[in-house]
Structure 1
C-alpha cells in the first residue's frame, strides 16, 4: 500500500511539473518594461513593451497593441535556445509521464512486476533529463 501511495504521489507531482512547463510556453508576459510617463509634460503618454518566446509587443496608453513575430530564426539567439530547450523538455516529459503511468503498480497494463519497475525507473530518468524534477 505504501509503495502505491508513493507512486501515485510521485506521478501527480511529476505530471504537474510537466503541465507547468506546458503552461510556461503559452505565457505572454515574460519580459515587461514601461516606456515613457516622465513627469513635466502636459500629455503623459505611457507605453508598455512586453515579449515572450514567440513575439515582441508594444501596448500604448490607449490600449492599442502592436505585435511583431520573430520572423528570422537567428535574429534573437537566446530566445531560440529557450524555445528549443522547452520543446525538448516537453517531449521528453511526455514520454516520462506515459512510462510512469504504465509502470505504476496500481495500473493493469505494463506486464509483470520487473517490467513495471523498469518502466517507472525509465520514466523517472526521463523526468530528470527533461527538467521536471
Structure 2
C-alpha cells in the first residue's frame, strides 16, 4: 500500500512538471517592457514591447499589435537553443510519463512485477533527463 501511494504521488508530481514545461512553450509574454508615456506631453502614447520564443511584438495604446516572427533559423542562436531544449524536454518527459504510468503497481498493463519496476525506474531516469524533477 505504501509503495502504491508513493508511486501515485510521484507520478502526479512529475506529470505536473511536464505540464508546466508544456505551458511555457505556449506563453506569450516572456519578456515585457513599457516604452513612452513620460515627459508630460499632451499626447500620451504608451507602447509595450513583448517577446517569446516564437516572435517579437510591439503593442501601442491604440491596441494595434505588430509582430515579427523569427524568420532566420540561426539568426538568434540562444532562442533557438532554448526552443530545442524545451522540445527535447517535452518529448523525453512524455516518454517518461508513459513509462511511469505503465510501470505503476496499480495499473494492469506492463507485465510482471520486475518488468514494472524497470519501467518505473526508466521513467524516473527519463524525468530527470527531461528536466521535470
Smaller-chain TM-score range?
Answer: over 0.9
- Structure 1 stretches of 4+ moved >6 Å: none
For normalisation by structure 1, the TM-score amounts to 0.98
Match of 2:6 in 1: 6
Match of 2:23 in 1: 23
Q: Are 2:97 and 1:109 aligned? A: no
Comparing 31-40 with 45-54, greater Cα deviation is found at 31-40
Match of 1:48 in 2: 48
Match of 1:76 in 2: 76
Instruction: Say which SS state the counterpart of residue 66 (structure 2) adopts.
Output: strand
Instruction: Say which SS state the counterpart of residue 48 (structure 2) adopts.
Output: strand
Instruction: Say which SS state the counterpart of residue 74 (structure 1) adopts.
Output: coil
Q: CA RMSD in A?
A: 0.6
Displacement after TM superposition at 1:44 (Å): 1.4
Q: How many residues align?
A: 133
